Amino acid sequence: MTANTPDPTARRRISSTPVLRAALTWGLLVGVVVAAVLALVGGLVAGADGAWSGVLGALVGIVFPAFTALSILIGNHWYGHPQWLQIFFAVVLGGWLLKFVLVIVALLLLFQVEWLERGIFALAVIVAAVASLVVDLIVLSRMRLSGASDVELPTSDTIQD
């Protein structure tokens, strides 16, 4: 085993894990607030149909961006495995493709619902997606990570003269 090869038996936590967990936690909290506000706005504008349209739009706008962070966390689970990079990218790409298909199916199904107020739904999706991006930006900017976070420097024991 060389100094740059990860030990397959070691179960270290990769540096992106706390960042992604914080982003998911804060994203969920902001999603609840966005859903409540847009349910109120939708209810005032279009009654119960508008309220539910706001909630569904906020749900779509918060849940689907969270799939990316969740797939990275799932991929990070195999960190230290000899095939970690291949597994990681397969999980992230598979998650992205699943998310892409689910978004299309969800939108096609939701647009078939007669009571859906499309304007409120669209506004809710946009507001929730922007809120999700803002949360990610704030979480990432407040985390303290070194420039080379998952690299172990060689020690005098590992350097051969």
Q: Which residue has the tokens 């914080």?
A: 22
Tokens of 2: 């060389």
The H-or-E segment that residue 89 falls in is: helix 84-110
Give the residue extent of every domain in the chain: 16-142
The H-or-E segment that residue 90 falls in is: helix 84-110
Q: Can you tell me the distance from the alpha carbon of 22 to that of 45, in angstroms, rounded to the nearest whole number?
A: 34
Which three-class secondary structure state does DSSP give residue 153?
coil
Query: How many other CB atoms sit within 10 Å of the CB of residue 139?
Result: 20
pLDDT, position 93: 95
Q: Which of 57, 72, 75 lies closest to 132 in space, CA to CA?
A: 57
Per-residue pLDDT of the chain in tens (161 residues, 90 and over written 9): 555 555 555 556 677 788 888 889 999 999 999 999 999 999 999 999 999 999 999 999 998 888 888 999 998 888 888 888 899 999 999 999 999 999 999 999 998 999 999 999 999 999 999 999 999 899 888 876 666 555 677 777 777 76
